[in-house]
Amino acid sequence: MSAEGSLTARLLDDADQAPLDPFDLFAEWFAEARASEPNDPHAMAIATVDGDGLPDVRMVLLNAWDRRGFVFFTNFESAKGHELLAHPKAAFVMHWKSLRRQFRVRGPVEIVDAAEADAYFHSRARGSQIASSASEQSRPLRSRQELMERVEKLTARLDGQEVPRPSHWSGFRVVPTQMEFWKDGEFRLHDRFQFTLDAIGDWRRQRLNP
């Protein structure tokens, strides 16, 4: 598929007002990003708010997605975990520099079920599983040596055993109510298209000024 694939070409054609599924369009863009980005095409900056309403943002990895939403996994005792459990709404952006495109999502957040969390946890490298168990994410750490000692102790204790998924480690699914596709244009005349979920569950798209 060319850089301007069939769905992208339809999107950019102002005369084409036929329905266009944003999930299909994302699949096309994501496939192109995976082919062209030199590192972490699934990286996304996810924004939350704390108890004072102050925004917080950090990079995470998109670990799974389907028509239910976009999933990432984390330690629920981390800052983002606490914030999302208290205020289950989020926004994220994925920026693909090689394609000069970005993709934005906003919506409520839900916790993935235990089976989904277990399956992803055990698909990871064993070292990553142990690190997820040993790290008290976002909490003060006196030294790196302290962390490495916890990793070594846990590695020795679990030798020959399956690493259990910690109860505080699971996934969040961002359920989109709004998605925006942005494509760079000459002289900052970018192409922006916003998809909004209406009351009956249909996606409505609107071109936006750059």
| Annotated catalytic residue within 188, 192, 205, 207 | 188
Identity of residue 117: A
Residue 190 and residue 209: Cα distance in Å, rounded? 8
Instruction: Check residue 29 and give its pLDDT.
Output: 97
Give me the mean pLDDT over the 34-44 stretch.
Answer: 96
| Averaged pLDDT for residues 176-197 | 95
Burial profile 61-75: b = 16 or more Cβ within 10 angstroms, e = fewer: ebbbbeeebbbbbbb
Query: Pseudo-torsion of CA 67, 32, 102, 57, nearest 10°?
Result: 70
Q: Quick count: other Cβ atoms within 10 Å of Cβ 76?
A: 19
Q: Using CA atoms, how far apart are residues 102 and 52, in angstroms rounded to an integer? A: 29
pLDDT 10s digits, 115-148:
999 999 999 999 999 998 888 887 888 999 999 9
Q: Reduce the DSSP state of residue 11 to 3 states and report it.
A: helix
- Give the residue-averaged pLDDT of 45-62: 97
Q: Of the CATH numbers 3.40.80.10, 2.30.110.10, 3.40.718.10, 3.30.360.10, which one belongs to the domain with range 6-208? A: 2.30.110.10
Does residue 188 have an active-site annotation? yes
Question: What's the predicted TM-score (pTM) here?
Answer: 0.90
Site of tokens 């925006």: 180
The answer to whether residues 139 and 150 touch, using CB atoms and an 8 Å cutoff, is: no
Read off the pLDDT of residues 55-105 as tens digits, 9 standing for 90 and up. Answer: 999 999 999 999 999 999 999 999 999 999 999 999 999 999 999 999 999
